[in-house]
Structure 1
Amino acid sequence: MRSILVIRVQPIPAGSSEAIPLTPEKLLGAVGYHVQVSDSEDEVMKLAREVDASILHLSLADVAYWVKRLVEEKSDTPLLWWCAPDTASSSAHDCEVDTSFDGIITPSMAGPEIHWTLHFAARRYMERKQWDQERKQLQSRLEDRKWIDMAKAILCDLKQISESEAYDLLRKKAMDERKRMVDVATAIVKAHQLLQS
Protein backbone atom coordinates (compact mmCIF):
# COMPACT_ATOMS: atom_id res chain seq x y z
CA MET A 1 0.00 0.00 0.00
CA ARG A 2 1.75 3.14 -1.21
CA SER A 3 -0.84 5.54 -2.63
CA ILE A 4 -3.31 7.25 -0.31
CA LEU A 5 -6.22 9.63 -0.99
CA VAL A 6 -7.10 12.18 1.69
CA ILE A 7 -10.66 13.44 1.43
CA ARG A 8 -11.21 16.81 3.06
CA VAL A 9 -14.36 18.92 2.75
CA GLN A 10 -12.84 22.20 3.90
CA PRO A 11 -9.38 22.93 2.51
CA ILE A 12 -6.89 24.23 5.06
CA PRO A 13 -6.65 27.99 4.42
CA ALA A 14 -3.35 29.11 2.92
CA GLY A 15 -1.49 31.82 4.78
CA SER A 16 -3.32 31.22 8.05
CA SER A 17 -1.73 33.11 10.94
CA GLU A 18 -2.26 30.19 13.31
CA ALA A 19 0.17 27.30 13.40
CA ILE A 20 -0.80 24.90 10.64
CA PRO A 21 -1.95 21.64 12.21
CA LEU A 22 -0.37 18.35 11.28
CA THR A 23 -2.36 16.97 8.37
CA PRO A 24 -2.58 13.39 7.16
CA GLU A 25 -0.75 14.25 3.94
CA LYS A 26 2.20 15.71 5.86
CA LEU A 27 2.36 12.75 8.23
CA LEU A 28 1.98 10.08 5.52
CA GLY A 29 4.28 11.89 3.10
CA ALA A 30 6.98 12.05 5.76
CA VAL A 31 6.99 8.26 6.07
CA GLY A 32 7.11 7.57 2.34
CA TYR A 33 3.52 7.40 1.10
CA HIS A 34 2.32 9.10 -2.07
CA VAL A 35 -0.63 11.22 -0.94
CA GLN A 36 -3.27 12.98 -3.03
CA VAL A 37 -5.70 15.41 -1.40
CA SER A 38 -9.07 16.46 -2.72
CA ASP A 39 -12.19 18.26 -1.59
CA SER A 40 -13.93 18.05 -4.97
CA GLU A 41 -16.50 15.27 -5.21
CA ASP A 42 -15.82 14.56 -8.89
CA GLU A 43 -12.08 14.41 -8.33
CA VAL A 44 -12.49 12.22 -5.24
CA MET A 45 -14.61 9.70 -7.17
CA LYS A 46 -12.00 9.54 -9.93
CA LEU A 47 -9.01 9.26 -7.58
CA ALA A 48 -10.69 6.76 -5.24
CA ARG A 49 -10.43 4.08 -7.93
CA GLU A 50 -6.69 4.67 -8.38
CA VAL A 51 -5.39 4.65 -4.79
CA ASP A 52 -4.66 1.89 -2.27
CA ALA A 53 -6.62 3.48 0.60
CA SER A 54 -8.71 6.54 1.44
CA ILE A 55 -8.46 8.63 4.59
CA LEU A 56 -11.39 10.81 5.59
CA HIS A 57 -10.16 14.06 7.11
CA LEU A 58 -13.70 15.01 8.10
CA SER A 59 -15.95 15.26 11.10
CA LEU A 60 -18.03 12.15 11.68
CA ALA A 61 -21.11 14.17 10.68
CA ASP A 62 -19.67 14.42 7.14
CA VAL A 63 -18.35 10.87 6.98
CA ALA A 64 -21.66 9.08 6.29
CA TYR A 65 -22.26 11.07 3.10
CA TRP A 66 -18.76 10.39 1.72
CA VAL A 67 -18.84 6.70 2.61
CA LYS A 68 -22.18 6.36 0.82
CA ARG A 69 -20.79 8.13 -2.25
CA LEU A 70 -17.66 5.96 -2.29
CA VAL A 71 -19.76 2.79 -2.03
CA GLU A 72 -22.05 4.00 -4.84
CA GLU A 73 -19.01 4.58 -7.04
CA LYS A 74 -17.71 1.12 -6.12
CA SER A 75 -14.50 2.48 -4.65
CA ASP A 76 -12.88 -0.72 -3.54
CA THR A 77 -10.23 0.35 -1.02
CA PRO A 78 -9.75 0.40 2.75
CA LEU A 79 -11.28 3.38 4.49
CA LEU A 80 -9.65 5.12 7.45
CA TRP A 81 -10.59 8.12 9.58
CA TRP A 82 -8.19 10.90 10.55
CA CYS A 83 -8.85 11.34 14.25
CA ALA A 84 -7.28 14.67 15.18
CA PRO A 85 -8.36 17.57 17.39
CA ASP A 86 -10.11 19.31 14.46
CA THR A 87 -12.15 16.24 13.44
CA ALA A 88 -12.70 14.72 16.88
CA SER A 89 -13.96 17.90 18.56
CA SER A 90 -16.57 18.41 15.87
CA SER A 91 -17.65 14.77 16.17
CA ALA A 92 -18.53 14.44 19.86
CA HIS A 93 -22.30 14.18 19.27
CA ASP A 94 -21.84 11.80 16.28
CA CYS A 95 -19.74 9.10 17.99
CA GLU A 96 -22.36 6.41 17.26
CA VAL A 97 -21.84 6.66 13.51
CA ASP A 98 -23.12 3.70 11.47
CA THR A 99 -20.14 3.72 9.15
CA SER A 100 -17.62 0.94 9.17
CA PHE A 101 -14.01 2.11 9.14
CA ASP A 102 -11.10 -0.18 8.53
CA GLY A 103 -8.80 1.88 10.72
CA ILE A 104 -8.02 5.18 12.40
CA ILE A 105 -4.94 7.35 11.94
CA THR A 106 -3.93 9.98 14.50
CA PRO A 107 -1.37 12.80 14.34
CA SER A 108 0.65 11.24 17.18
CA MET A 109 1.50 8.09 15.21
CA ALA A 110 5.06 7.34 14.20
CA GLY A 111 6.11 5.68 10.94
CA PRO A 112 5.93 2.04 12.11
CA GLU A 113 2.55 2.66 13.75
CA ILE A 114 1.21 4.11 10.50
CA HIS A 115 2.53 1.18 8.46
CA TRP A 116 0.95 -1.34 10.86
CA THR A 117 -2.31 0.58 10.99
CA LEU A 118 -2.52 0.59 7.20
CA HIS A 119 -1.56 -3.10 7.09
CA PHE A 120 -4.28 -4.03 9.60
CA ALA A 121 -6.76 -1.75 7.82
CA ALA A 122 -6.13 -3.64 4.58
CA ARG A 123 -6.71 -6.96 6.37
CA ARG A 124 -9.84 -5.61 8.08
CA TYR A 125 -11.08 -4.38 4.71
CA MET A 126 -10.60 -7.82 3.11
CA GLU A 127 -12.47 -9.45 6.03
CA ARG A 128 -15.27 -6.91 5.74
CA LYS A 129 -15.60 -7.59 1.99
CA GLN A 130 -15.64 -11.34 2.63
CA TRP A 131 -18.33 -10.95 5.33
CA ASP A 132 -20.38 -8.81 2.97
CA GLN A 133 -20.09 -11.42 0.23
CA GLU A 134 -21.07 -14.21 2.65
CA ARG A 135 -24.04 -12.15 3.86
CA LYS A 136 -25.23 -11.67 0.28
CA GLN A 137 -24.89 -15.39 -0.39
CA LEU A 138 -26.90 -16.21 2.73
CA GLN A 139 -29.60 -13.72 1.74
CA SER A 140 -29.73 -15.31 -1.71
CA ARG A 141 -30.04 -18.77 -0.20
CA LEU A 142 -32.84 -17.59 2.10
CA GLU A 143 -34.65 -16.08 -0.88
CA ASP A 144 -34.22 -19.35 -2.81
CA ARG A 145 -35.50 -21.31 0.19
CA LYS A 146 -38.58 -19.06 0.34
CA TRP A 147 -39.49 -19.84 -3.30
CA ILE A 148 -38.91 -23.56 -2.79
CA ASP A 149 -41.07 -23.61 0.34
CA MET A 150 -43.89 -21.76 -1.43
CA ALA A 151 -43.72 -24.17 -4.39
CA LYS A 152 -43.76 -27.17 -2.02
CA ALA A 153 -46.86 -25.78 -0.31
CA ILE A 154 -48.60 -25.32 -3.65
CA LEU A 155 -47.70 -28.86 -4.78
CA CYS A 156 -48.83 -30.32 -1.44
CA ASP A 157 -52.15 -28.54 -1.77
CA LEU A 158 -52.79 -29.31 -5.45
CA LYS A 159 -51.55 -32.89 -5.58
CA GLN A 160 -52.45 -33.88 -2.00
CA ILE A 161 -48.91 -35.12 -1.31
CA SER A 162 -46.54 -34.81 1.65
CA GLU A 163 -43.90 -32.10 1.91
CA SER A 164 -41.06 -34.57 1.25
CA GLU A 165 -42.88 -35.88 -1.84
CA ALA A 166 -43.32 -32.31 -3.06
CA TYR A 167 -39.61 -31.68 -2.54
CA ASP A 168 -38.74 -34.86 -4.48
CA LEU A 169 -41.10 -33.79 -7.25
CA LEU A 170 -39.44 -30.36 -7.47
CA ARG A 171 -35.97 -31.92 -7.50
CA LYS A 172 -36.92 -34.42 -10.22
CA LYS A 173 -38.51 -31.70 -12.39
CA ALA A 174 -35.37 -29.54 -11.98
CA MET A 175 -33.12 -32.44 -13.01
CA ASP A 176 -35.35 -33.37 -15.97
CA GLU A 177 -35.38 -29.78 -17.23
CA ARG A 178 -31.71 -29.20 -16.31
CA LYS A 179 -32.61 -26.14 -14.28
CA ARG A 180 -31.89 -25.00 -10.79
CA MET A 181 -34.48 -26.11 -8.28
CA VAL A 182 -35.21 -22.50 -7.32
CA ASP A 183 -35.98 -21.62 -10.96
CA VAL A 184 -38.51 -24.46 -11.19
CA ALA A 185 -40.01 -23.42 -7.84
CA THR A 186 -40.28 -19.79 -8.94
CA ALA A 187 -42.01 -20.80 -12.17
CA ILE A 188 -44.53 -22.93 -10.23
CA VAL A 189 -45.30 -20.13 -7.76
CA LYS A 190 -45.70 -17.49 -10.47
CA ALA A 191 -47.89 -19.76 -12.60
CA HIS A 192 -50.06 -20.50 -9.56
CA GLN A 193 -50.34 -16.79 -8.76
CA LEU A 194 -51.42 -16.06 -12.35
CA LEU A 195 -54.06 -18.78 -12.22
CA GLN A 196 -55.38 -17.44 -8.91
CA SER A 197 -55.83 -13.89 -10.20
Structure 2
Amino acid sequence: MGAKLTVVVVEEDRDRAIAIVDALREATDCDVFVVGNSSALARRIAAHEPDIVLIDINSPTRDMLEELTLASGPIDRPVAMFVSNSAGGLAQAAVEAGVSAYVVDGLAPQRIKPVIDTAIARFRMVRQMRTELAETRRALEERKVIDRAKGLLMKVKGIDENAAYSLLRKTAMDQGRRVAEVAEALVTASELLR
Protein backbone atom coordinates (compact mmCIF):
# COMPACT_ATOMS: atom_id res chain seq x y z
CA MET A 1 0.00 0.00 0.00
CA GLY A 2 1.46 3.30 -1.03
CA ALA A 3 -1.24 5.73 0.09
CA LYS A 4 -1.25 7.19 3.55
CA LEU A 5 -3.78 5.44 5.78
CA THR A 6 -6.13 6.98 8.29
CA VAL A 7 -6.41 4.64 11.27
CA VAL A 8 -8.73 4.86 14.25
CA VAL A 9 -7.59 2.92 17.31
CA VAL A 10 -10.20 2.02 19.90
CA GLU A 11 -8.28 1.60 23.14
CA GLU A 12 -9.30 2.71 26.64
CA ASP A 13 -5.90 2.30 28.30
CA ARG A 14 -3.83 5.45 27.63
CA ASP A 15 -0.40 3.80 27.88
CA ARG A 16 -1.50 0.94 25.63
CA ALA A 17 -2.92 3.45 23.12
CA ILE A 18 0.40 5.33 23.00
CA ALA A 19 2.28 2.06 22.39
CA ILE A 20 -0.12 1.15 19.57
CA VAL A 21 0.19 4.59 17.95
CA ASP A 22 4.00 4.37 18.11
CA ALA A 23 3.94 0.87 16.59
CA LEU A 24 1.59 2.00 13.82
CA ARG A 25 3.70 4.99 12.90
CA GLU A 26 6.79 2.80 12.85
CA ALA A 27 5.12 0.12 10.70
CA THR A 28 3.34 2.25 8.10
CA ASP A 29 2.69 5.79 6.88
CA CYS A 30 -0.55 6.75 8.60
CA ASP A 31 -2.60 9.31 10.47
CA VAL A 32 -3.74 7.78 13.74
CA PHE A 33 -6.66 8.85 15.90
CA VAL A 34 -7.34 7.24 19.27
CA VAL A 35 -10.84 6.79 20.66
CA GLY A 36 -10.41 6.28 24.36
CA ASN A 37 -13.94 5.65 25.55
CA SER A 38 -16.94 4.04 23.97
CA SER A 39 -19.49 6.83 24.38
CA ALA A 40 -20.81 7.89 20.97
CA LEU A 41 -18.32 5.49 19.42
CA ALA A 42 -19.97 5.27 16.01
CA ARG A 43 -20.06 9.05 15.58
CA ARG A 44 -16.49 9.48 16.80
CA ILE A 45 -15.16 6.84 14.43
CA ALA A 46 -17.14 8.13 11.45
CA ALA A 47 -15.90 11.69 12.08
CA HIS A 48 -12.37 10.60 11.14
CA GLU A 49 -13.43 8.66 8.00
CA PRO A 50 -10.78 6.00 8.69
CA ASP A 51 -9.42 3.53 6.18
CA ILE A 52 -9.32 0.94 8.97
CA VAL A 53 -10.39 0.62 12.62
CA LEU A 54 -8.20 -1.25 15.10
CA ILE A 55 -9.92 -2.44 18.26
CA ASP A 56 -7.81 -3.70 21.15
CA ILE A 57 -9.72 -5.55 23.88
CA ASN A 58 -8.47 -7.83 26.63
CA SER A 59 -11.47 -10.14 27.04
CA PRO A 60 -14.43 -9.25 24.86
CA THR A 61 -17.96 -10.36 25.62
CA ARG A 62 -20.53 -11.04 22.90
CA ASP A 63 -22.38 -7.82 23.80
CA MET A 64 -19.20 -5.75 23.71
CA LEU A 65 -18.17 -7.38 20.43
CA GLU A 66 -21.52 -6.61 18.84
CA GLU A 67 -21.54 -3.01 20.10
CA LEU A 68 -17.98 -2.32 18.94
CA THR A 69 -18.39 -3.88 15.53
CA LEU A 70 -21.67 -2.07 14.90
CA ALA A 71 -20.11 1.21 16.01
CA SER A 72 -16.97 0.74 13.92
CA GLY A 73 -18.95 0.15 10.73
CA PRO A 74 -17.48 -3.11 9.37
CA ILE A 75 -19.62 -2.76 6.26
CA ASP A 76 -18.12 0.68 5.59
CA ARG A 77 -14.48 -0.05 6.40
CA PRO A 78 -12.14 -2.83 7.51
CA VAL A 79 -12.05 -3.61 11.21
CA ALA A 80 -9.22 -5.51 12.89
CA MET A 81 -9.88 -6.73 16.41
CA PHE A 82 -7.06 -7.71 18.74
CA VAL A 83 -7.99 -9.73 21.82
CA SER A 84 -5.87 -11.10 24.65
CA ASN A 85 -7.95 -14.18 25.33
CA SER A 86 -9.88 -16.36 22.94
CA ALA A 87 -13.28 -17.17 24.39
CA GLY A 88 -15.40 -19.85 22.80
CA GLY A 89 -17.23 -18.81 19.67
CA LEU A 90 -16.21 -15.16 19.74
CA ALA A 91 -13.98 -15.42 16.67
CA GLN A 92 -16.89 -16.74 14.64
CA ALA A 93 -19.21 -14.09 16.08
CA ALA A 94 -16.67 -11.40 15.18
CA VAL A 95 -16.38 -12.62 11.59
CA GLU A 96 -20.16 -12.85 11.29
CA ALA A 97 -20.39 -9.27 12.57
CA GLY A 98 -18.08 -8.16 9.75
CA VAL A 99 -14.71 -7.97 11.48
CA SER A 100 -12.03 -8.34 8.80
CA ALA A 101 -9.31 -9.67 11.11
CA TYR A 102 -9.62 -11.26 14.55
CA VAL A 103 -6.23 -11.67 16.20
CA VAL A 104 -5.74 -13.55 19.47
CA ASP A 105 -2.87 -12.77 21.88
CA GLY A 106 -3.22 -9.03 21.57
CA LEU A 107 -1.69 -6.44 19.35
CA ALA A 108 2.00 -7.17 18.86
CA PRO A 109 3.89 -4.31 17.14
CA GLN A 110 5.63 -6.57 14.60
CA ARG A 111 2.24 -7.94 13.45
CA ILE A 112 0.49 -4.62 12.89
CA LYS A 113 1.36 -4.07 9.22
CA PRO A 114 0.58 -7.64 8.03
CA VAL A 115 -2.69 -7.61 9.97
CA ILE A 116 -3.69 -4.24 8.51
CA ASP A 117 -2.80 -5.39 5.00
CA THR A 118 -4.76 -8.63 5.47
CA ALA A 119 -7.78 -6.87 6.99
CA ILE A 120 -7.93 -4.38 4.13
CA ALA A 121 -7.53 -7.10 1.48
CA ARG A 122 -10.22 -9.26 3.09
CA PHE A 123 -12.56 -6.30 3.45
CA ARG A 124 -12.17 -5.44 -0.24
CA MET A 125 -12.82 -9.04 -1.23
CA VAL A 126 -15.97 -9.26 0.91
CA ARG A 127 -17.19 -5.87 -0.34
CA GLN A 128 -16.70 -7.03 -3.94
CA MET A 129 -18.69 -10.20 -3.23
CA ARG A 130 -21.48 -8.15 -1.59
CA THR A 131 -21.60 -5.86 -4.63
CA GLU A 132 -21.74 -8.79 -7.03
CA LEU A 133 -24.45 -10.47 -4.95
CA ALA A 134 -26.54 -7.29 -4.90
CA GLU A 135 -26.15 -6.88 -8.67
CA THR A 136 -27.11 -10.52 -9.24
CA ARG A 137 -30.20 -10.16 -7.04
CA ARG A 138 -31.19 -6.98 -8.85
CA ALA A 139 -30.74 -8.64 -12.25
CA LEU A 140 -32.80 -11.63 -11.12
CA GLU A 141 -35.61 -9.39 -9.88
CA GLU A 142 -35.53 -7.43 -13.14
CA ARG A 143 -35.64 -10.68 -15.10
CA LYS A 144 -38.72 -11.79 -13.14
CA VAL A 145 -40.49 -8.49 -13.85
CA ILE A 146 -39.57 -8.64 -17.55
CA ASP A 147 -40.89 -12.20 -17.73
CA ARG A 148 -44.17 -11.14 -16.08
CA ALA A 149 -44.49 -8.22 -18.49
CA LYS A 150 -43.82 -10.49 -21.46
CA GLY A 151 -46.50 -12.88 -20.18
CA LEU A 152 -49.00 -10.03 -19.92
CA LEU A 153 -48.23 -8.84 -23.45
CA MET A 154 -48.45 -12.38 -24.83
CA LYS A 155 -51.85 -12.87 -23.21
CA VAL A 156 -53.38 -9.49 -24.09
CA LYS A 157 -51.91 -9.08 -27.58
CA GLY A 158 -51.81 -12.74 -28.57
CA ILE A 159 -48.12 -12.60 -29.51
CA ASP A 160 -45.20 -14.95 -28.86
CA GLU A 161 -42.43 -14.41 -26.32
CA ASN A 162 -39.92 -12.96 -28.79
CA ALA A 163 -42.46 -10.44 -30.09
CA ALA A 164 -43.39 -9.49 -26.53
CA TYR A 165 -39.75 -8.84 -25.65
CA SER A 166 -39.23 -6.89 -28.88
CA LEU A 167 -42.20 -4.71 -27.99
CA LEU A 168 -40.82 -4.06 -24.49
CA ARG A 169 -37.39 -3.25 -25.93
CA LYS A 170 -38.79 -0.92 -28.60
CA THR A 171 -40.94 0.90 -26.04
CA ALA A 172 -37.93 1.28 -23.75
CA MET A 173 -35.82 2.70 -26.58
CA ASP A 174 -38.59 5.08 -27.67
CA GLN A 175 -38.96 6.37 -24.10
CA GLY A 176 -35.23 6.44 -23.30
CA ARG A 177 -35.74 4.02 -20.41
CA ARG A 178 -34.44 0.61 -19.48
CA VAL A 179 -36.44 -2.50 -20.45
CA ALA A 180 -36.82 -3.38 -16.76
CA GLU A 181 -38.36 0.05 -16.04
CA VAL A 182 -40.91 -0.33 -18.85
CA ALA A 183 -41.70 -3.87 -17.68
CA GLU A 184 -42.16 -2.66 -14.09
CA ALA A 185 -44.54 0.08 -15.25
CA LEU A 186 -46.55 -2.44 -17.29
CA VAL A 187 -46.80 -4.92 -14.43
CA THR A 188 -47.81 -2.15 -12.00
CA ALA A 189 -50.44 -0.83 -14.40
CA SER A 190 -51.87 -4.33 -14.95
CA GLU A 191 -52.17 -4.83 -11.19
CA LEU A 192 -54.09 -1.55 -10.89
CA LEU A 193 -56.52 -2.66 -13.63
CA ARG A 194 -57.45 -5.95 -11.95
- TM (normalized to structure 1)? 0.75
- Check whether the contact 1:28–1:35 (CA below 8 A) recurs between aligned residues: no
Secondary structure of 2:193's counterpart equals: helix
Shift of residue 107, structure 1, vs aligned partner: 2.8
Query: Contact 2:83–2:107 (CA<8 Å) still a contact in 1?
Result: no
The match for 1:28 is: 20
The change in CA–CA distance for 1:7 and 1:75 in structure 2 (over 3 A counts) is farther
1:155-176 deviation line (CA, Å, top 9, x unaligned): 1111122222211111111112
1:32 and 1:193, CA in 2 relative to 1: closer, same or farther beyond 3 A? closer
Report the Cα distance in structure 1 between the residues aligned to 2:42 and 2:192, rounded to whole angstroms: 49
- Please, which of 58, 65, 68 is the counterpart of residue 66 of structure 1? 68
Partner of residue 7, structure 2: 4
What is the aligned length?
178
Partner in structure 2 of residue 19 of structure 1:
none
2:52 — aligned with what?
Answer: 53
- Please give the root-mean-square deviation of Cα atoms over the aligned residues, in Å: 2.7
Equivalent position amino acid for 1:162 in 2:
D
Deviations 1:21-52 (A, max 9, x none): x94x3552342433503333424422344133
Tell me, yes or no, if the aligned pair for 1:49 and 1:75 is still in contact at 8 Å. Answer: no
1:49 to 1:77, Cα distance in 2 relative to 1, 3 A:
farther
- Show structure 1 runs of 5+ residues with no match: 15-21
Distance 1:81 1:173, change over 3 A: same
CA distance in 2, matches of 1:95, 1:123: 18
CA contact (8 A) 1:7 1:54 kept: yes
Amino acid aligned to 1:57: D
Deviation at 1:108, TM superposition (A): 6.5
- How many Å separate the matches in 2 of 1:182 and 1:140? 10
Scaled by the length of structure 2, what TM-score is found? 0.76
Q: CA contact under 8 A between 2:41 and 2:71: conserved in structure 1?
A: no
Deviations 1:64-120 (A, max 9, x none): 23333444xx973210111212xx2xx324443122222234436342x22111112
Superposition pairs of residues 67-82 of structure 1, within 5 angstroms: 67-71=69-73, 76-82=76-82
